[in-house]
Amino acid sequence: MIALLTRLIGRLPVGWLQLTHSKGRLFAALAGVAFADVLVLVQLGILGALNSTIIQGYEMFEADIMISANDANTMTEGSNVPRQYLFEALADPDVVDGTTLFIGFRDWLHNNNDRSLQVFGVDTEKSGFLRPDLAAQIAPLRLADYAILDRMTRGFTAEEAAAVRPQTPMIFELEGRTVTVVDTFEGGVGFAADGYMFASDQTFLRLFPNRSTGAPNHVLLRTARGADAEAVAARLQERIGDQMRVRTFDAAAQEDLSYQTTERPTGIIFGFGVVIGIMVGIVIVYQVLATDVADHLKEYATFKAMGYSQGFFLGIVLEEALVLAVLGFIPGVVIALLLYAGMEAMTALPMSLTITTAVAVLIGTIVACALSGAVATRRLASADPADLF
């Protein structure tokens, strides 16, 4: 290792030798860096799961433009949209099709556990607005009180999901009505619900008797081939006026994501968790490096009296910071992955560590350690060799 570092940095790896001189201190420093990495990675993992669950609701549909109420900051919130805006939008020459989308939540008692289902009510004659696999399953929903259920619903086992087929449907009570589930699809649990269920808009209105067929949650539109969806949305917004929000479907998804991660308490808390993890890491590494500088102050002063520059000492401390950052990152990632697996098994949330996130955390760790090292050398910069002997 010493030979490798000597070749890489072109001098004796003084920083590495100082770190490895005291194995106990080195282990404690690596544990501190790993702890900070775990804290950041876990917060990022939960934040990533939140982002995934927000987007997965949009990924079940295929549309170009969405009309929503002005107070609809998310897909599931906001006032209803008068159906008349669907017909106004269809009058635009670049809008070729449109449909209504109803969204509601219902509690489902399954195996003596209460589960929350996010129910989508869709027009079964407009299957083109659904993800292809969902569109292929939508025809049976024309029958009253028929539905398809998310096989990833929390508490819904793989064996139970595999047994649900049109020939062997699953029947249960939902808000006093008998619902017949004839198939399953891949959805995913979220922070708002334990799973999804699709039904026809007519079945939806029977499950939600206080809702009206003339007031869906959103209106989805398809534009003509080659049409600019943003330009069409802007034109519709001008025609409809400020009482509704007309956005491209992708823009609606991104605004929902931004709102929930920057303005909702859940997203803000996870964001603060990342910041706290970074601060903890900086403090830990600073303490380690500052103590190391203090312990070797006489040796550094000797070098200083011999004419070595401040840049030489900064290089040594940054070398130590880089070693701590890289070696502490490895166990941090391993522990974080184990925690991801445990949390995913317990909550069914999609916890995943992407290469981009891992690289970003590693770079952040190196920067934080380098910053700590630079601060730790301030005392050395002001030290006078004559005062140290």
pLDDT tens across 1-23, in order? 667 767 776 677 777 777 777 78
Q: What is the length of the chain?
A: 389
Encode pLDDT of 118-142 as tens digits. 999 999 999 999 999 999 999 999 9
Residue 386 has what pLDDT?
61
Cα separation of 320 and 46, whole Å?
31
Record the tokens describing residue 290, joined without a space: 């500052």
Below-70 pLDDT ranges, the chain: 1-2, 5, 9-10, 379-389
Question: pTM score, two decimals?
Answer: 0.79
Residue 379 has what pLDDT?
67
Cα separation of 304 and 380, whole Å?
9
Residue 389 has what pLDDT?
55
Encode pLDDT of 302-361 as tens digits. 777 777 777 777 788 788 888 888 888 999 999 999 999 998 888 888 888 889 988 988
Residue 166 CB contacts under 8 Å (≥ 6 apart), including other chains:
140, 182, 183
Residue 59 CB contacts under 8 Å (≥ 6 apart), including other chains:
131
Residue 21 has what pLDDT?
76
Residue 63 has what pLDDT?
95
Q: Which amino acid is at 258?
A: S
Residue 229 has what pLDDT?
95
Cα separation of 280 and 323, whole Å?
18
What residue ranges in the chain does DSSP mark as E strands? Answer: 65-69, 95-110, 113-122, 146-150, 170-174, 177-185, 195-200, 218-223, 244-248
Cα separation of 35 and 28, whole Å?
10
**Ranges of each domain in the chain:** 1-54+265-382, 71-242
Residue 118 has what pLDDT?
95
Cα separation of 338 and 336, whole Å?
5
